[in-house]
Amino acid sequence: MERAATAAEPLDDLLPAPVLSLQRAVRFGLIGGMAAVVVAAIGMVETFEARTLIDPFLALGLTTLYLASFTFGFVAGSPPPEREGFAKPKAGLRSLAAGAIAGVLAGVVLSAFMLLADAVNLRNIFVSVSPQLLELLTFGKGLGTGILLVLVVSTAVGVAGSAVHLIPAQVRRPIMYTVMWVLLVGLLQSVIEPVFRGLGLPSLIDVLYEEAGGLRLAGVVIVAAAVFLLSFFLGGKGRALQGRLDALPAQRRRSYISILLLVAAAIVYMIPRVVGPFLSEVLDLAGLYLLMALGLNIVIGYAGLLDLGYVAFFAVGAYTTAILTSPNSPRFTPEMTLWASLPFVVLAAALAGLLVGTPVLRMRGDYLAIVTLGFGEIARILLNSDALKETFGGAQGIINIPNMVIGPLTVRGPEVFFYPIFIFAILAGYVSLAIQNSRMGRAWMAMREDELVAETMGVNIVAAKLSAFVVGASLASIGGALFAVKVGSVFPSSFNIVVSITILVLIIVGGMGSVPGVTVGALALVALPELLREFNEYKFLMYGILLIFMMLKRPEGFIPSKRRALELHQDEVLQDAWLQIYGDEETGPQEEGV
Amino acid sequence: MTTATVGKKRASRLNFTNLFRWVVGSVAVVVIFYGSIKSVASGRLSWAQWRDLMVFGVAQGSVYALIAMGYTMVYGVLRFINFAHGEVFMSGAMIGYFVADALNRAGIWNEQPVVSLLIVLLVSMTTATSIAVILERVAYRPLRGAPRLIPLITSIGASFTLQYLFRGLFGAGTKAYPPMAAIQGKWIIFGIPILKSQVIVIGSAIVVMAGLYLFVEKTKTGRSMRAVAEDPETAALMGINVDGTIVKVFAVGGAMAGVAGALWTLVFPTVNFFSGFLPGIKAFTAAVLGGIGNIFGAMLGGVSLGMFESVGPSLVLGGYEVPAFNQLKDVVAFSALVLVLIFRPTGILGERLAQERG
């Protein structure tokens, strides 16, 4: 209480606000410059430049390069943290100066790199540092003018980054949205074009896009206007709508919701028809990853068991399906249909889950990670080996897996395959959500927090751990079965450790334990690189950086589950609680003294 | 009432896992013994061949031991597995390659083999040390005191980042070290002909590990490392700079990985962006096998794992006439990891850490 009173006092006795230090700006400028150099040296700029965002002048390559200056200009210009007893720091000219310093330094580092690349042939070591790259970096104007331009552009971008802090918050949001959407619409040309064509609006394509790639200026204006108006008028209306829906009487609400569900189902039904085969293929892939990610989400997100060999269960599903259904599998001659084999697939995966789960029952988190990684590698090597060629086909894998047949219908082609994948993903999502609040789900979460306490409270740790492994493995195996049937063949090389890590990234970025988070993660991180070929080359690098970034800045993920976010920020909550107690104690003795 | 039920639960749990351990253990022992006896009795390999396999195993194992130092020391201090340590090792070997290549093209490589090898070693050490230190500063230091899975996941991210950063910078192709004439052929040591490269690897590993042992046991820095490993808070109260000591631990671990990177290329003269992964995992296995947190243990574990991996497939799998058993040598190594963690999570020399609550 007393604290609140002092905080509300007039501002006279506050010390002047802390100011931005030069050292900070210099540091971020140098880091930004190094980031830009790395982006250039790994060939990202050159590869990305092929994608034009806005027709005449803006392509993805240089945008990515100067994103470094922008970001670090933004960071350098951000006002220092508020300190108790000091006036609230405000963004001002100093922010702009900090942004400019960061921008200049980033430009200097980049220029130094350009000079070096010009003087020495770095190509023997850095494969991507080519004369073409240098030409791109100098804007094709020769080294001298080029360096000048780099310095000017980098400084301007750095200032622009820091200027973001000066824009009042109400305006900042619509502007940010507009810029983001314009860039996104430019980026996703290959997605938007077939969609418009599928919707029967081919004329709109010509208005928006240049034929050779990139948004037209008219397109930029249209997108910007649309987004700006929408965000201006609709901003915050979503919650109001939700509120109104909640306020309705139960029966009417139910009917509204069922209508909404019907509409959603109709839209989903239309999706593959509208987007065409290529996009459907990408969605299928994202759906398969989503299915696996939901399974791993149970193991990691709910039960807190870091399983790095998860791809093994996917492999068990795929290979069991292949062996049981394909006439080419050497060992089992009586072939089954997919549906007849599915129970065996799940059973096999559950057994595999037990097999992996039992030895690791008493291991702690980090050991568990390495051992499961070992299991994943063992599975892959065994599938690949000549020793078990009779069963698994060795490196040649198993081919000729028959198509999925539903009644009279043969499911063939990515557009049709979208439906079973979608249905299974929905089922998996439903199971995840239902299990989250079940007795088992609560037992998992208790175990994740503290095994000993959970056990004392009556949670059977053995059962909880094994069931997490079994449920997770079953979901992955269904993904594997769908994968095998979809591709029509299985090869050991598809079950690499990289798959396990990718699924881990989806979960971490989306939010551990959060079903919507995992869904968005799968769409953004699997579908996007698949759509934009040039991203594909760098996707694992981005995954790695994302993992570090998320753990450092947002361990609960972008769309966190409520409980998880609370746990991870427990320290802060605790600190606040401690402050309150401390505050009370402070007043306590005083009262006694009086 | 609660204590009784808890006691019962605990007893049943132990019974279940104990039963499992017992069954797996006896099966493993029977399988290993029967296979070994059969393959030795079959006489498929001569004594000289077994001996060569063993020497190769020791050479490979001493490199594992060097990498394992990094795992074990970092684990000892921070209680977390630095997953990216394999990539630290790879970075040393990778940058070393470019130096070796340049030396070769300048004609120094074969003219001055000792100087060249020393230069490569130095470059590899410097690279690996700097990468390890940067990693600590950027990725791990901000996470001190975070829940345990978080630094682990960060280190997985760091491992991925380093791999694909190196792939982007230096290309995806496998790079072959230039052959060095001076280390071809064999030396005869105690009447046993051994490949010169293997002698160099084993010899240097012994020297470096002895140096490390003296450093940790006898110097002031080493003592502060041990103090921080024992109890960071008390160490801080005693005036030890905990953060500084942790940086030194990472630096020493990185330097060891750098030495390992340079030596590894004498045995397997190729490197690519992924070549840190398997040695990294195996070195971790070695660290666990010997008892994590224990430097002697890491040496012992490394050499045992190297031997097991090189002799094991022929000895055990060969006895069952498994076709193409050499493909399965990594399975042997990983099975060793799983078996060790099931039966002796403490390792040969270690204390019980695998299940300790951090």
Chain B closest CA to A166's CA: distance in Å?
29
Give A-chain residues touching B152 at CB under 8 angstroms: 306, 365-366, 369
What local confidence, expressed as pLDDT, does residue B67 receive?
A: 92
The mean pLDDT of chain B is 83
A331 and A433 share one domain: yes
* Beta pairing class for B192-195 and B186-189: antiparallel
Residues A121 and A178 in one domain: no
Return the sign of the alpha-carbon dihedral for residues A534, A537, A543, A546.
negative
8-state DSSP, B178: P
Find, among A92, A62, A96, the residue nearest to A76 by Cα. A96
* Beta carbons within 8 Å of A73's beta carbon, 6+ residues apart: A28, A32, A98, A99, A100, A102, A103, A106, A157, A158, A159, A160, A161, A162
pLDDT at A582: 41
Q: How far is A436 from chain B (nearest CA, A)?
A: 21
Of A369, A370, A552, the CB nearest to B142: A552
With contacts defined as CB-CB under 8 Å, which chain A residues touch B80? 366
pLDDT band at B251 (very low <50, low <70, confident <90, very high): very high
Q: Could you say which DSSP state residue A488 is in? A: S
* DSSP string covering A290-339: HHHHHHHIIIIIIT----S-THHHHHHHHHHHHHHH-TT-SS--S---HH
Cβ distance of B341 and A461 shorter than 8 Å: no
* A132/B contact by beta carbon, under 8 A: no
Using alpha carbons, list the distances in angstroms from residue A439 to A339, A454, A460, A464, A566.
30, 13, 12, 10, 21
Residue ranges of the alpha helices (H) in B238-314?
A: 242-267, 277-290, 295-312
Strand partners, A585: none
Q: Amino acid letter at B234?
A: T
Q: From A192, A48, A194, select the one nearest A535 (Cα to Cα).
A: A48
Within-domain flag for A578? no
User: In sequence order, what are the residues at sequence separation of 6 or more whose Cβ sits closer than 8 angstroms to the Cβ of residue A413?
Assistant: A277
Q: What are the tens digits of pLDDT across the range B153-212?
A: 899 999 999 999 999 888 888 888 888 887 787 788 777 788 888 888 888 999 998 899
At B157 the pLDDT is 92
Distance CA B289, CA A585 (A): 52
Q: Is residue A343 part of a domain?
A: yes
Q: Mention every residue, 6+ apart, whose C-beta is less than 8 A from residue A256.
A: A245, A248
Total residue length of chain B:
358
Interchain CB distance below 8 Å, A552 and B165: no
Dist. CA A94–CA A143, nearest whole Å: 32
Measured between alpha carbons, how far is B65 from B70 in angstroms, rounded to an integer?
A: 9
SS3 A490: strand
Ramachandran category for residue A587: left, alpha or beta (phi over 0 → left; psi -120 to 50 → alpha): alpha
Residues 377-436 of A with CB under 8 A from B: 377-378, 381-382, 384-387, 389
Q: Rounded to an integer, what is the distance from CA A176 to the centroid of its chain?
A: 20
Closest CA to A332 of A343, A342, A340, A320: A320
From B146's Cα to the closest Cα of chain A, the distance in A is 9
Residue A520 carries which side chain, given as an amino acid letter?
V
Note whether A121 contacts B: Cβ–Cβ < 8 A.
no
Assess whether A444 and A304 both reside in one domain: yes
User: B44-75, pLDDT tens digit by residue?
Assistant: 777 788 888 888 888 889 999 999 988 888 88
Distance CA A336, CA A357 (A): 29
Cα separation, A571 vs A554, in Å, equals 14
Cβ-count burial B108-134 (b if 16+ within 10 Å, e if not): ebeeeeeebbebbbebbbbbbbbbbbe
CB atoms near residue B206 (< 10 Å)? 13
Strands (E), chain B: 175-176, 186-189, 192-195, 270-271
Q: How many CB atoms lie within 10 A of CB A545?
A: 17
Same domain flag for A283 and A395: yes
Please state, in angstroms and as integers, the Cα–Cα distance from residue B68 to each residue in A419, B225, B255, B278, B324, following that order: 49, 17, 12, 13, 29
- In one-letter notation, the amino acid at residue B12 is S
How big is chain B by its Cα radius of gyration, in Å? Answer: 22
Least CB-CB distance to A371: which of B170, B327, B341? B341
Q: What are the C-alpha distances in Å from A523 to residues A199, A279, A283, A486, B78?
A: 22, 12, 8, 19, 36
> In chain B, which residue's Cα lies nearest the Cα of A355?
B20
Return per-residue pLDDT of chain A as tens, 594 residues.
Answer: 344 444 445 555 677 777 777 888 888 888 888 988 888 888 888 888 877 787 777 788 888 888 888 888 888 888 777 777 777 777 778 888 888 888 888 899 989 988 888 888 888 888 888 888 888 888 878 888 888 888 998 889 888 888 888 888 777 877 888 888 888 888 888 888 888 887 777 787 877 787 777 788 888 888 888 887 887 776 666 667 777 777 777 788 788 888 888 888 888 888 877 777 888 888 888 898 998 898 888 888 888 888 888 899 999 989 888 888 877 766 666 677 778 788 888 999 999 888 888 877 777 777 888 888 888 888 888 888 877 777 777 777 777 777 777 777 777 777 788 888 888 888 988 888 888 888 888 888 888 888 888 888 888 888 888 899 999 899 889 989 888 888 888 888 888 888 898 899 988 888 887 888 888 888 888 888 888 877 888 888 989 998 898 888 888 878 777 666 666 665 554 444 444 444 343 333 333 333
The SS3 call for residue A53 is strand
What's the half-sphere exposure (Cβ side, CA atoms, 13 Å) at A224? 12
| Residue A417 to residue B218: CA distance in whole angstroms | 67
A533 CB-near residues (< 8 Å, 6+ apart):
none
CATH number at residue A351: 1.10.3470
| A146 & A184 share domain | no
pLDDT digits (tens, 9 = 90+) for B124-151: 999 999 999 999 998 888 888 787 788 8
Phi, psi dihedral angles at A350 (to 5 degrees):
-60, -40
**Both tokens assigned to B131:** 């990468």
Residue found by looking up tokens 């006694």 in the block = A592
What CA–CA distance (Å, rounded) separates A165 from A593? 48
Determine the Cα–Cα distance for residues A511 and A469; give it in Å rounded to an integer: 20
Alpha-carbon span B288 to B282, nearest angstrom = 10
| CA–CA gap between residue A411 and residue A494 (Å, rounded) | 22
Contacting residues of B for A45, CB less than 8 Å apart: none
What is the predicted pLDDT for the residue at A384?
Answer: 82
In chain B, where the domains are located: 71-273, 276-358
Predicted confidence at residue A5, as pLDDT, reads 45
Q: Is the same domain home to A103 and A205? A: no
> Are A57 and A141 members of one domain?
yes
Residues A161 and A214 in one domain: no
The reply to whether A262 falls in a domain is no
Contacts of A168-175 spanning 24+ positions with Cβ under 8 A: A173/A231, A173/A235, A174/A227, A174/A228, A174/A231, A174/A232, A174/A235
3-state SS, residue A467: helix
Residue A269 lies in a domain: no
Q: Is the domain of A29 the same as that of A59?
A: yes
Tokens 């973001």 -> residue: A164
Identify whether A6 is part of a domain: no
Distance CA B222, CA B212 (A): 9
Predicted pLDDT at B358: 37
Q: How many domains does chain A have?
A: 3
Burial of residue A27, with CB atoms counted within 10 A of its CB: 0-12 exposed, 13-18 middle, 19 or more buried = middle
Are A153 and A185 within one domain? no
| Structure tokens given for B49 | 């061949």
Q: Which two tokens mark A7?
A: 């905080």
Question: Which of A150, A166, A182 is the last residue before a domain boundary?
Answer: A166
User: What whole-number distance in Å separates Cα of residue A266 and Cα of residue B183?
Assistant: 72
Q: Which residue of B has its CA nearest to A388?
A: B323
Distance of residue B337 Cα from the nearest chain A Cα, in angstroms = 7
Asked if A386 and B330 come within 8 Å (Cβ–Cβ), the reply is: no
A448 and A489 within one domain: yes
Q: Which domain holds residue A89?
A: 15-166
Reported confidence tier of residue B257, pLDDT bands at 50, 70, 90:
very high
Question: Per-residue pLDDT for B280 more than 60?
Answer: yes
State the nearest Cα–Cα gap between B141 and chain A, in angstroms: 10
pLDDT 10s digits, A514-537: 888 888 888 888 888 888 877 888
CB contact under 8 A, A540 and B160: yes
CB atoms within 10 A of CB B89: 33
Question: How far is A431 from A29, CA to CA, in rounded Å?
Answer: 48
Query: What integer pLDDT is reported at residue B161 of this predicted model?
Result: 92
- Residue A538 falls within a domain, yes or no? yes
